[in-house]
Structure formats: structure tokens, C-alpha cells
Amino acid sequence: MKKLFLILITQFVVAQQIPIDSISYEYFYGKELQQIVVLKQKQANQPFNLKTRLKIAELYQDINCEDSAYATYYKLYEYEKNNNRTLNKEAYKELLFNLHTVESSKHNYERDRRVFLNELKQLTKEDNSDKWQAKIENEIFKDYFSDSLKTEEARNQIEIIKETDYYKNNDVFRSIILLNEGNLNTYIDNYQEAENNLLSGLELATKNKDILRQTYCLINLGANENKRKNYNKALYYFNQIDKIPNNRFKLKIERILASNRGNSYYYLKDSVNLKFQDNLYAKLDSVINDFRKNSNFYEVDIAYQTKEKDKKIAELSSFKESFNKNRIVYSILLFLVFLLALYSFIRWKKSDKKKRLLDIENEKTKTELETVKSLVINDHIVLKNKSKVYLNELIYVKSDGHYLNLFTTAKKEFVRGKISEIEQQLPPNFIKCHRSYIVNRNCIKQYSSTEVFMTNGDNIPLSRGFKF
């Protein structure tokens, strides 16, 4: 009996669902599409009518035709730019804001251009009211949360918005911010806080008869319950949406609902309703993607980029014309710059050469100093025959063929070797006075032009090439 009851309930629920085979833009937006056709026909045989085109753009936006909405708004923007502003200041701000919101809702679109939002910022700098500041801050919140998932920055942004007078005094805007805050809290798992935000937003939206915001609040309440694993309560909120006569963004809202209901049915293990919601989602997604292929948006975007390129080309052409007029002056300036560069290069090369030579000399001096240091530290030398000669006792060295005579205060050493070899072992106080003699300066008594007289009484010849 229980199984029979469940089957009957399931069949009843499925029977209430949208017929998938009949889903199309006409199914959801037949009335709006007819309105657009009528307005376009009227406009075709009349001069440019700003109000009519604004109405067409708004209708396109309401039925999720962002491409066509963007194209229509952009044509109005161009018209305003080229015709010295026919809209009043506030209406022009609304146009910029609508352009930004449609542009930033596009898929696969480079969001950080923000041409229209930046223009709106400049235009509202001197406003007495902080209405537009609050709205712009909310767009920045979307960048942080929806686009970047920077939750801490998004939370800070909400606090900035709450400080504005516009938030405090405007119930419609406050319900929008409460909705956004609830969505953020759901994402970061602050479920109770999210529920409080969303219920407050729903209460305000109901009071303001803002049916679109009521719908969004109920969707987010359901999503919050799904995350809390209260799937039946989530379905309760989703089913409340069916009672709201909302037609704006209906197609995308139904796709969101199909996805969220599918999550609830999946965890409730209701395979019949789950399959229906999956098929419904696939069909809705297909219809939306077909409309996304509309080329209006991309044509306008290409036109915008072409304008930017034309502007750059015009600037280059202007420079070329100026260059042709002042060719001689520019040529002289370029020649002077070339000479200055050449002079700087030559000076740098000379300086670099000197530096390299100085580096070589420094390395050489450093090596010599290290050698001298090692020699000064040592108080003796060791000869090839392994005998040790103390430097403070060595008076002079004499070369005799392939042998060396070392005269000290104590004795005389005789060893095989070259004078050039022992010269390298001796410290700086030992100098060569003759090709065959090295003397210790500390042991010189006196010297003449031809002889050096040592303290031990020996006379050493002094060659002209070795005068010291």
C-alpha cells in the first residue's frame, strides 16, 4: 500500500512539471516577443525614437536575450554620444548601468574592460546622493564574489555598502544586498546567518511587491537548505516559486531551479523526479545556448574594437603629418640624439677598457701581495738539500754556474740551483744587485756606484742595470 501511495504521489508531481517537448523561447516569452516585433515594426518607418528603443532593450534584457539587449543599448549609447545627449543626466546614468550589467552577465566576455562602469564612476563623482556609489560598490562585490570567489573581500564590500545612506533608506536596494549577503553566507557555510539574510530580503521584497527578488530569495533559501541537507525543506522553498507570477529572466531561473531540484531529488533518491529535472535542465540549457549564438553582441563588440583601432590609426596619421611638416627639425634632433648616443657609447667603451686594465692590475698586485705576505710570514727557507736557512741570518746569495753559495752569519751553504728560483723564495728585503748576486738590504753597510759593502766584510759587485 505504501509503495502504491508513493507511485501515485510521484506521478502527480511529474504531471505538474513543465512539458519538456514544448519548451522554447515562445513557450516562456511569447507575449514579450510579440511586443518586440510590434515595437520594431513601428520603429522601422519612423525617425529614431529613443523611448521605443529603450523599451525594446529592456524587453530583450527581461527575456535573457543579452546579446540583443546589449546591441540595442549600445546603439542608444552611440546615439547619445553623437547627438549631444538627449537623455537627462539620470536617464543617461541608468543607460550606462544597464550596459554594464548586460555586458558583465555575458558568457566568455572580458569583464575587466568595464568601460561603462568607469564612465559611470566619473559621471557620479560629484553627486550629492550616494545612490550610484552604492550601486557601483555592489557591482564590485559581484566581481569579488561571483567572478573571483574572494570571499573576504566580498564580505568587506558588503560592509561598505551597508554604510551608505542609499542602503539605509531604500528598501528595494536593501533587499538586493540582503540577497547577495545571504548568497555569500551560504557559500561560506554560515547557514543560519544566510537564512536570516534571505528571509529578511524576502520580507522586504514581498512588502515592495518585487516579485523578481522574491523569486531569487526563495531560490537561495532552497540552495541553503540543500547545503544543510534539509532536502524536503529545500523543495518546499523551490515549490513556493511556482506561485509567484514572475516573467523576468524566467528561462534562466527555470534552469537554476531544475539544477537545484535535481540536487534535492538525488539525495532523496527520487530517481523519477531526478531524471525529469536532468532532462529539463538539458533542454533549457540547449535553448539558452542557441540564443547565445546570436551575433548582435559580437558585431557590436567588434565595432567597438574597430573604433578603438581607427582612433589609434588616426593618431598615427596625425603624427605622420606632423612629422612631414617638421621633417628637418626632427631629422636634426634625431642626428643629435644619434651623436649623443655614439659619444656615450665611446666613453663607455673607454671607461670599460680602463676598468678592465685596472682589474687586471689589481689582480696582479693582489697576487704579488699574497706572495709577499707568505714570504714575510715565513722566517726561513728550505734548500734542495733539505737544509734550513734562517732569513735574518742570510747576508747574500751568490750564483756559481749551476750552484748557489748562501753566506750567513753562522755558516756557508752550498747547494745546486738557479738564482732565479731562490729569488722567488726570498722576501722583498732581498734584492738583486748583480746577475749573480742577491743581497740582504738589512746587511748592507754602504755602497758605491760599483760595489756593495756587506756587514761581514765582503764586497759585492754592483751592475749598472741593478742600481738601487
Residue 41 is predicted with a pLDDT of 78
Closest CA to 61 of 10, 98, 9, 19: 98
Bridge partners, 416 (sequence order) = 403
Residue 65 grid coordinates? 536575450
What lies within 8 Å, CB to CB, of 426 at 6+ separation is 375, 381, 391, 397, 438
Residue 452 grid coordinates? 756593495
Please tell me the distance from the alpha carbon of residue 14 to that of residue 442, in angstroms, as a whole number: 119
DSSP codes of every residue in 101-144: HHHHTSTT--GGG-HHHHHHHHHTTT-SS-HHHHHHHHHHHHII
**What residue type is assigned to position 278 of the chain?**
D
Closest CA to 64 of 36, 92, 90: 36
CB burial readout 427-436, b (16+ within 10 A) else e: beebbbbbeb
Residue 148 is predicted with a pLDDT of 67
| Residue with cell string 714575510 | 376
Please tell me the distance from the alpha carbon of residue 163 to that of residue 143, in angstroms, as a whole number: 19
Between the alpha carbon of residue 456 and those of residues 110, 396, 403, 449, the distances in Å are 98, 10, 22, 20
Could you give the dihedral angle defined by the CA atoms of residues 96, 97, 98 and 99, in that order, rounded to the nearest 10 degrees?
50
Please tell me the distance from the alpha carbon of residue 42 to that of residue 122, in angstroms, as a whole number: 36
| Residue with cell string 511586443 | 35
Please tell me the distance from the alpha carbon of residue 69 to that of residue 154, in angstroms, as a whole number: 28
- The pLDDT tens digits along the chain (468 residues) read 444 333 333 333 443 456 676 676 666 777 777 777 788 777 777 777 788 888 888 888 888 777 788 888 888 888 888 877 788 889 889 988 988 888 887 644 445 567 888 888 898 988 899 999 999 899 888 888 876 678 899 899 999 999 999 999 999 999 999 999 999 999 999 999 999 999 999 999 999 999 999 999 999 999 999 999 999 999 999 999 988 988 888 888 888 999 999 999 999 999 999 999 988 888 888 877 766 554 344 444 445 455 555 666 677 777 677 767 777 887 888 888 888 888 888 888 888 888 888 878 778 777 766 665 555 556 788 888 888 888 888 999 999 888 899 999 888 888 888 888 888 888 888 899 888 999 999 899 988 888 999 988 899 998 877 766
Sheet bearing 412-416, strands edge to edge:
412-416, 403-408, 394-400, 437-440, 430-434
Cα torsion 391, 393, 395, 399: sign? negative
Q: What is the enclosing helix (H) or strand (E) of 66?
A: helix 66-82
